[in-house]
Chains A and B, each alone.
Chain A
Amino acid sequence: MDQNWPYVVAGYTLAVVVLATYSIWLLRKLARARKTASTTTK
């Protein structure tokens, strides 16, 4: 563990946070859209 660890941790955290946020946003929107779609289809 040398002095560069903060950068490494920052990088990995950034990647995980960004991808997780996008995924969660997408899946939630999708779930909502599916629900609305099933209620508006005749």
Chain B
Amino acid sequence: MSVDLHMPPRRARPFLGFAALLGVAATVVMGLFVVPKDVAQGDAYRLLFVHVPAAWLSYLAFAVTALASVLYLVPRTRDIRWDYLAGASAELGVIFTALMLAVGSLWGRPIWGAWWAWDARLTTTAILFFLYLGYLALRRMGGSPEQRAMRSAIAGLTAFIDVPIVHFSVTWWATLHQDGSVFNEKMQVHIRDTSMQLTLLLGVAAFTLLYVYLCTQRVQLLALEEGMAERELQAAIEERVARSGATGTASSAPTTDPSTSATTAVGV
């Protein structure tokens, strides 16, 4: 394996997971109890400490997917594990995006009086959500691991290129809606208090740790499942060969290259 995925070493992973857990717990505690009320928004703004980290992570996750897609497409760095990374990261990205939208909605309700607002960021994120949902659906299409990887890499790149375009177009569109309504009040809060700053930073760090941990484990799961499918196929072939050899029939064993095995319906 000539390509180094720079994943956290195996022994460090439990610590990573534990650190992530601690970080998230600390964020929750601080966000709910430690930081003071906001002048303008009262307690509702506390959702910021979940909303912003989720947003950050969703962008990071999709960037990683795009990068992994490129690395797979470039022949020199081509390695199936980049495909695993792309898939794992996209899965997490979809989760964080959904979380961001849901929490944003819960935040918007008390502030704007509506469950949804067509502000630039929420709208862009909603489109992003469906972009990557489609990407995940494409990954389940079946075929050999290499076919899936090539297909997904192109799809991942195509989707990622769209992100700045979506962002620009939606932002322009949102600025055309300056009708002075309360919806223009962005979901932003003046971070004055140091405990607020700290909690926000903590939240982002904790979620990032969680992302890295979960992504690593997800990649390992994909690798194991795919490896298992290959091994099972190989075992089945060898068993077949042994059986036909034992009965003395001259049936020729199919020399199947495991890497082009039929449907690998497992994995993402």
Contact = CB atoms under 8 A, between A and B. Distances in A.
Are A and B in contact, CB atoms below 8 Å, in the complex?
yes
Given A33-B221, A34-B224, A15 B46 contact: no
Chain B interface, >50% SS class: helix
Contacts of B218: 26
B231 interface: yes
Given A15-B50, A19-B210, A34-B224, A41 B106 contact: no
Contacts of B191: none
A16 B28 contact: yes
The secondary structure that dominates the A interface is helix
Interface size class on chain A is 20 to 34
Given A4-B42, A7-B107, A14 B224 contact: no
10 contacts: A8-B44, A8-B47, A10-B106, A12-B31, A12-B46, A14-B102, A15-B99, A23-B214, A33-B224, A33-B228
Interface of A: 1-5, 7-12, 14-16, 18-19, 22-23, 26-27, 29-30, 33-34, 36-37, 40-42
